[in-house]
A and B are shown apart, each in its own frame.
Chain A
Amino acid sequence: MSEITPDLVRHLASLARILVTDQEVEQLAGELGVIVDSVATVTKAVSGDVVATSHPIPMANVYREDVILPSLTQLQALSSAPDSNDGRFKVNAILDED
């Protein structure tokens, strides 16, 4: 059995910035436990001397000339924002008051 406990689900959800109800935590713990048990088989498939592949087609990083190209205006960039003020994105306080 996997180690996916309700407390671990709560911790992972908070890392992922997703609020979860107690009911969701119970359900997710069960579902993720089954999934993790299944995908954990990959650990049996490989040994230490196999190299990891992060990208399907080998590629070097791509650079371009440092020239100014057209981009979104400030107005366009802000046009979809839920809230903005004085040409900037407006959000709630980042730090708690306490």
Chain B
Amino acid sequence: MTEITSSSAAVLAGLISSKQVSSVEITTAFLDRLEKLNPKTNSYLHFNRENSLAQAKKADQQLADGTAVSPLHGVPIAVKDNLTTTDAPTTAGSKILEGWVPQYDATVVRKLREASMPILGKTNLDEFAMGSSTEFSAYGPSRNPWDLSRIPGGSGGGSSSAIAGHLAPLAIGSDTGGSIRFPAAMTGSVGAKPTYGAVSRYGLIALASSLDQIGPVTNSVMDAAMLQDVIGGYDPRDSTSLPNSLGSMVQSVKEADVKGLRVGVIKQLSSDGFQPGVKACFDDTIEKLAAAGAEIIEVDCPSFEYAVAAYYLILPAEASSNLAKFDSVRFGLRVTPDGNPTIENVMAATREQGFGPEVKRRIILGTYALSSGHYDAYYGSAQKVRTLIQQDLAMAFTQADVLLTPTAPTTAFKIGEKVDDPLAMYLNDVATIPANLAGIPGISVPNGLASEDGLPSGLQILAPAMQDAQMYRVASIVEKLYMDQWGASLIARVPDLEAL
């Protein structure tokens, strides 16, 4: 069954629709593999064989009756555990939601069910998606299939390690400051954050509502495009959902052509602060694009210097408000202290026991940023930086069709290396944060192995808002350049997980 679990979702979809292999056979192959190997990677927090196979059987029955309901009909998928599911627990990686089974499906989950895509299970994440390593999950860190002593990125390290370890052909992530793209870079997989509002957030446990966006985590650009076409679109249940269609991402991938492409390289994200091997991979790809006929232009985004600072005011501020709902009243954990406590004592005791260190840190930081006397200086200034970042990007996009950066400053670091240094951890997202602040789409594609440690590096492609199709087009060009040189995708070189 190795061939099945190492195949792309596009190939699996073809095998299913032509009735060469059934959805049950494919889903079984992934379940067999994840049941055996999940103890090594801790990618999944919950899975249930009978439930997944029942969904696969239904998909096969629909095909036998003559109808494929979507281009990914019957292809199984993993879902990040901050999306609500009525048939599985949803913990967001937190003790405060341990055992909670929601009463409604997230819109994205509903769309997967309507597309007849069996759900394999729910993947691990930093608690409430706060982190870039999964070390802040209350259920232990996930591990990187390239080297089990290293982080798979975060917050969506469960999804990225599931993809790189071939424990799922497709996965769903969420990206507030890089939680899809950073893990993709760390594991040699593909991760896309669509334009803000392109995918419904209904049923996503909110971290920072003006930044959160759901997107695909996959092994190829085509797989990501196919998945965005399934999960995207207007949803009346999300008031920030975009009413207009962004077109077909799959069509755009098929039309990939480098001629006349203007590629912008951001001055502030192409020189200092990157691991030499990561920078070398980036320079190499830029040279290849130029050789293939793209025009390379340096663009200046001076406000990016302040992006991380603005982000770590806006995010904690919004998170401190969003996480007020975990109050021990309607759902989740309740801890009642001895004596005759008031409801406020109960809330404080519950949140003390239910939340981990990073969540407490950010809630208290957000409370400070929003407090009287500091609001204008901190939160107000951060919102103004957001305007400057949008202006810099708007100017850059008059000069270039897309902007390219290394996705992350380094390759995957060791588990434990940065966990006690919040500021060092925050700087992992230096290249990914601007896209969230501006609401534009960004994708990370594999960009070779860094020479000093042999670990994957990622290339990030940014496009103007609503131009997700353009982003996928260029991602496909880069992927093809890589395939032409190496003869196979980067993910084909991941070590055999069974032997590790």
A residues bordering B, Cβ < 8 Å? Answer: 4, 8-9, 12-20, 24, 28, 31-32, 34-36, 38-43, 45-46, 50-57, 59, 61-62, 64, 72, 76-77, 79-83, 89, 91-97
Contacts and interface: CB of A to CB of B under 8 A. Distances in A.
Contact of A35 (B336, B383, B386, B423): B423
B274 interface: no
A51 B390 CA distance: 11
Contact of A91 (B104, B305, B346): B346
A19 B365 contact: no
B46 interface: no
B240 A57 contact: yes
A45 B301 CA distance: 13
Given A19-B352, A56-B210, A45 B364 contact: no
A92 B196 contact: no
B342 interface: yes
Interface stretch (B140-148, B309-317, B399-407): B309-317
Given A12-B368, A39-B313, A39-B382, 20 more contacts: A9-B364, A12-B364, A16-B351, A17-B327, A17-B351, A18-B360, A19-B348, A19-B349, A31-B422, A40-B309, A41-B306, A42-B310, A45-B384, A52-B384, A56-B210, A56-B386, A62-B239, A81-B329, A91-B346, A92-B342
B343 A94 contact: yes
A82 B320 contact: no
Contact of A92 (B343, B364, B438, B440): B343
B205 interface: no
B437 A56 contact: yes
Given A18-B355, A35-B365, A64 B236 contact: yes
Given A15-B367, A82-B334, A92 B388 contact: no
Given A52-B386, A53-B386, A81-B330, A95 B342 contact: yes
A64 B387 CA distance: 30
Given A52-B387, A80-B331, A38 B423 contact: yes
Contacts of B334: 82-83
A91 to B, nearest CB: 5
B115 interface: no
B384 A17 contact: no
Given A19-B348, A34-B423, A51-B384, A42 B333 contact: no
B12 to A, nearest CB: 34
A53 B465 CA distance: 15
Contact of A61 (B239, B303, B352): B239
Nearest to B362: A35
B331 A81 contact: yes
Contacts of A77: 103, 330
Output the residue of A9, A16, A41 with the most chain B CB within 10 A. Answer: A16
Contacts, number: 180
Contact of A79 (B103, B329, B346, B351): B103
Contact of B371 (A12, A28, A96): A12
Interface in B323-381: 324, 327-334, 336, 340-349, 351-352, 355, 360-361, 363-365, 367-368, 371, 377-378, 380-381
B382 A42 contact: yes
A61 B240 CA distance: 9
A17 B348 contact: yes
Contacts of B345: 92
Given A41-B306, A42-B378, A94 B342 contact: yes
Nearest to A20: B352
Contacts of A13: 360, 364
Nearest to B309: A39
A61 to B, nearest CB: 7
Nearest to A79: B103
Contact of A59 (B211, B240, B310, B377): B240
Nearest to A21: B352
7 contacts: A35-B312, A42-B382, A46-B388, A56-B437, A80-B330, A91-B346, A95-B342
Contacts of B368: 4, 8, 12, 32, 36
The 3 closest A-B pairs by CB, nearest first: A56-B439, A82-B334, A52-B383
B320 A16 contact: yes
B19 to A, nearest CB: 37
A13 B440 CA distance: 34
Contacts of A53: 383-384, 386-387, 390
Contact of A45 (B303, B340, B422): B303
B360 A28 contact: yes
A82 B320 CA distance: 22
Contacts of B312: 35, 38-39
Given A19-B351, A53-B383, A56-B437, A38 B309 contact: yes
Contacts of B180: none
Nearest to B305: A45
Contacts of A83: 334
Contacts of A32: 361, 364-365, 368
A80 B346 contact: no
B342 A42 contact: no
A48 to B, nearest CB: 9
B327 to A, nearest CB: 7
